[in-house]
Amino acid sequence: CDWSSDVCSSDLSRPTPQAQNVKIRASALRVRSCGSSQCGVLGKVSKGVYKGYVVERRDGWALIQLPHISGWLSEKHIQLDG
């Protein structure tokens, strides 16, 4: 699925995520390619509050789309505010 497009054919039943504040509580949090600490690191997000989208939540991980990066974050180190 390409997040730059409006519709993902495999995700038609999934509701459109709403923008919310994503607070990163760790000094730097790894953004991963899947919801596991065994997955590859796509980048890091510094401590702070970002406006973003929660696309999916599963097993203590959240798939987040932020303005500068998208990927899976451990929910232990974030706070979500709608």
How do residues 28-53 score in pLDDT, each as one tens digit?
A: 999 999 999 999 999 999 999 999 99
**Is the distance from CB of 64 to CB of 73 less than 8 angstroms?**
yes
Copy the structure tokens of residue 9. Answer: 């054919």
Instruction: State the amino acid at position 42 in one-letter form.
Output: L
pLDDT of residue 5: 46
Higher pLDDT, 12 or 64: 64
- Provide the CB-side half-sphere exposure for 18 (13 A, CA): 4
Mean pLDDT computed over every residue of the chain: 86
pLDDT of residue 22: 95
Which residues contact residue 69 at a Cβ distance below 8 angstroms, ignoring those fewer than 6 apart?
31, 42, 43, 45
Reported as a pLDDT band with limits 50, 70 and 90, residue 81 is: confident
Higher pLDDT, 52 or 7: 52
Spatial separation of the C-alpha atoms in residues 12 and 40, rounded to whole Å? 27
**Is the distance from CB of 67 to CB of 53 less than 8 angstroms?**
no
